[in-house]
Structure 1
Amino acid sequence: MLHRRFILALTTSLVLGTAGAAEGIVLKPAQLEGLGIRTTPAGEGLAATAGQLPARVLVPVDQMRIVASPMSGRVESLSVAEGMAVKAGQEVAALSSPDALQLQREAMQAASEAALAQSAYVRDQKLYKEGLIPEARLQASRAAAAQAGALSRERSQVLSLSGAKRGRAAGSLVLVAPIDGVVLEKMVEVGERVDASAPVFRIARLSPLWLEIQVPLATADRLKPDARVDVPGVGVSGRVIGVGHAVDPVTQTVMVRAEVTDNAEALRPGQMVSAAIADTAGGGIDIAASALSHEGGRTLVFVRTEGAGGEVSFEAREVKVLEVSGTTASVQGVQAGEPVAVSGVSGLKALLTGVGAQ
């Protein structure tokens, strides 16, 4: 009752629209405070269309490779540096390793033994045709040649997989790039000793890239599959490929993963950017549900505009409600950043319907 009397006492100017409903409400600063009116920018805290969602640039997991030393040794040379582009199979480092020397020795010995066993088998074939040896001996030499050949191929394969090559200096170990990409990180220096499986380089293919975007829960729940994602100012765009299920207990945000393809080379892994997600709930702007007011079958919000002489003006604007989720509503009819009244709305509605003009 006291609140109603206070409204009746206000000196308020109403600007009438063509339909007779109040379109604008002008208040003195004291009246603004007395009604307890508070505004927040449309989309504040959600900012999906304003491009203010924090995001981190990542390399997709299937585009990242680690070049590691297959065995212990010492770094003899490095052929590439951070930031350089490499091709699959390109030499990136050379190591000297006693283990590589042992593999080379074993491969050479196995090859020699395979050659001797094959020669013995060929000789026994001739002797068997001449009737000088029994068939059992021929079968034995055939089996020995097959076994020696298999061992030689095995040793040669192990040598190849290790990076140790025949024809190079004894004990030399060559590391090559496994994919086409860019060297992101060099983890050793020339002369440094490394253990088996120690990482030497990190190489990645940098297109496409991922964005991990921190999105408020209310917005994440309404994200459309393949929603468009943009990084304003750099011309990078892509689409949403996944929405997380866990909520950060501190920020109450959900991690949304997007894949960016257009102009992805403008971004760098690890970079922090601001992202904009479009097509959420049909392109609506998120506002507090408390900002909504219903009058004559319409849903209104009160948008603050600047008045003259220190006065404050509010425009009663009809909006289309797309969805209400908890304390948040998604609407069409307001622009991101426009100041919308979120408290004191009942007082503004009373003035709109003519209570304050009596």
Structure 2
Amino acid sequence: MGSACCRFFLEQVMIRPLTGALLLCATQLTPPTFAQGSVPLPAITLDAPQQAALGVRTSPVLPAGQQQLLASATVTVPPGQEVTVAAPMAGVIARLDTGLGDSVRAGAPLALLGSPQLADARRQLREAELEARNAQAALQRDQAMHDEGIIPAARLQVTRNRQQAAEAHWQAQRSALQASGLGSGSDYASGQLVAPRAGTVVDVQASVGQRVEAGTVLFRIADLRQLQLDITLSGEKATRLRAGDAVSVPSHEARAVLLGVSRSLDASQQARARARVTVPGRLQAGEALQVQLHPATDPKAAAAWQVPARALLQMQGQSWVLVATATGYAPTAVQVLSSNDDSATVQGPLNAQQRVASTGLAALRPLLQKAD
């Protein structure tokens, strides 16, 4: 019994230091983790003949120039620079005074509209005018009679109320006719449609002899001296843009400045942006085209680098590049900012003197996975 207790005590004394040493060693060997939560990959040791046998070649790391984003856009007219002219009443187009593409001034004649409703509206206006004048004459007569003491003040007040009601009815009829935008015509039943503002006639939906209903759009007039781009782009691209960024249309030798970017997506998961055209070049309203967006670089942001798109590896949910070293390759985690079929723009601990593996990555991946 005593010898067994001695053996147990000695075993405990010897095991405790060994356990502590193992824990200390494990702590020292635990590699640091990235902020992204990925575990660093071990370096790959390969000499030149081995790299040649595996078909591994390298490409230089280049500083990324100003980034360019591609998007689709439509050339439009800014809000407030385009108006429509519609038929205020049902009728028939008796004459056209302007055509598509014509430049017009404010108040210029567009078309002559013949309408029985217009004749009736003018008749009602004339009747309201006569009633207002009769009411005014009655008020003057009763005012004189009241001053002489012939009628009481109550009767004078009734007459004054009638005159004010007739005046209001006349003004309402006159305002309604003026709001129709019809100038005087050759007769009571015809009126001249006129341009509400100066600009270019960009659409004509009227023809001589055409019968139209009230509200039918006949003309669109726009000031084409100022254009804008309505841009459609992905949500990822929208987050990298802000008002003031440059927009270019190389195919039309045009330039624009971004006015605003929506921070919400539509049903097709697309965002919208508007740009004011500063150099119109050969742009035409209504044209659909491709534009280049140039996000402003942030001076506080980390440097960006350009590498071949095929140099990127995806492992552990992270993008990596294999940086060439004297003994092989060192896996380096990077953040991809943008990419296409040929190249990728990344951020990470790179410099312009380094080279990255751009071919033979399929042969190197198993070495990383085995080491992992």
Q: TM-score range by the shorter chain?
A: 0.5 to 0.7
1:84 is matched with 102
Distance 1:86 1:136, change over 3 A: same
Give the one of 44, 63, 67 matched to 2:85.
67
Q: Which moved more, 1:94-103 or 1:205-214?
A: 205-214
Deviations 1:92-136 (A, max 9, x none): 222011111110000000001111111111122222222333323
1:150 is matched with 168
Structure 1 Cα separation of the partners of residues 145 and 255 of structure 2: 76
Pairing 1:205–2:223 present = yes
Q: Is the 8 A contact 1:75 1:93 kept in 2?
A: yes
Give the one of 278, 289, 292 matched to 1:276.
292
Structure 1 Cα separation of the partners of residues 58 and 213 of structure 2: 64
Larger radius of gyration: 2
Structure 2 Cα separation of the partners of residues 167 and 108 of structure 1: 16
Structure 1 Cα separation of the partners of residues 312 and 137 of structure 2: 93
2:312 is matched with 290
1:262 is matched with 278
Distance 1:96 1:122, change over 3 A: same
Structure 2 Cα separation of the partners of residues 37 and 243 of structure 1: 43
Deviations 1:30-77 (A, max 9, x none): x7xx748899xx9xxxx963x854432122344332211111000122
- Secondary structure (helix, strand or coil) at the match of 1:89 reads coil
Q: Is the 8 A contact 2:109 2:192 kept in 1?
A: yes
- Secondary structure (helix, strand or coil) at the match of 1:169 reads coil
Q: Is the 8 A contact 1:244 1:254 kept in 2?
A: no
Instruction: Compute the displacement of 1:204 (Å).
Output: 2.0
2:74 is matched with 56
Structure 1 Cα separation of the partners of residues 305 and 254 of structure 2: 23
Alignment of 1:125-164 (within 5 A): 125-164=143-182
Q: Which moved more, 1:78-87 or 1:92-101?
A: 78-87
Deviations 1:219-268 (A, max 9, x none): 3332243211111251432225214633786xxx8444232331237311
Q: Which moved more, 1:234-243 or 1:109-118?
A: 234-243
Distance 1:140 1:155, change over 3 A: same
- Secondary structure (helix, strand or coil) at the match of 2:264 reads strand
Q: Is the 8 A contact 1:220 1:254 kept in 2?
A: no
- Secondary structure (helix, strand or coil) at the match of 1:144 reads helix
Structure 1 Cα separation of the partners of residues 196 and 363 of structure 2: 69
Distance 1:216 1:207, change over 3 A: same
- Secondary structure (helix, strand or coil) at the match of 2:118 reads helix
Pairing 1:100–2:100 present = no
* 2:201 maps to amino acid: V
1:344 is matched with 360
Instruction: Compute the displacement of 1:142 (Å).
Output: 1.5
Q: Is the 8 A contact 1:55 1:213 kept in 2?
A: yes
Q: Is the 8 A contact 1:213 1:256 kept in 2?
A: yes
Structure 2 Cα separation of the partners of residues 179 and 189 of structure 1: 21
Q: Is the 8 A contact 2:323 2:357 kept in 1?
A: no
1:246 is matched with 265
* 1:241 maps to amino acid: G
Structure 2 Cα separation of the partners of residues 6 and 189 of structure 1: 82
2:205 is matched with 187
Q: Is the 8 A contact 1:74 1:95 kept in 2?
A: yes
Give the one of 342, 345, 353 matched to 1:330.
345
* 1:279 maps to amino acid: P
Structure 1 Cα separation of the partners of residues 71 and 106 of structure 2: 37
Instruction: Calculate percent identity across the aligned residue pairs.
Output: 29
Q: Give unmatched runs, 5+ long, in structure 2.
A: 1-43, 314-319, 326-333, 366-372
Q: Is the 8 A contact 1:84 1:182 kept in 2?
A: yes
Q: Is the 8 A contact 1:100 1:172 kept in 2?
A: yes
1:318 is matched with none
Q: CA RMSD in A?
A: 4.2
Instruction: Compute the displacement of 1:90 (Å).
Output: 2.9
- Secondary structure (helix, strand or coil) at the match of 1:261 reads strand
- Secondary structure (helix, strand or coil) at the match of 1:105 reads helix
Instruction: Compute the displacement of 1:331 (Å).
Output: 4.1
Alignment of 1:21-36 (within 5 A): 35=55
Give the one of 174, 178, 187 matched to 2:192.
174
Instruction: Compute the displacement of 1:205 (Å).
Output: 2.5
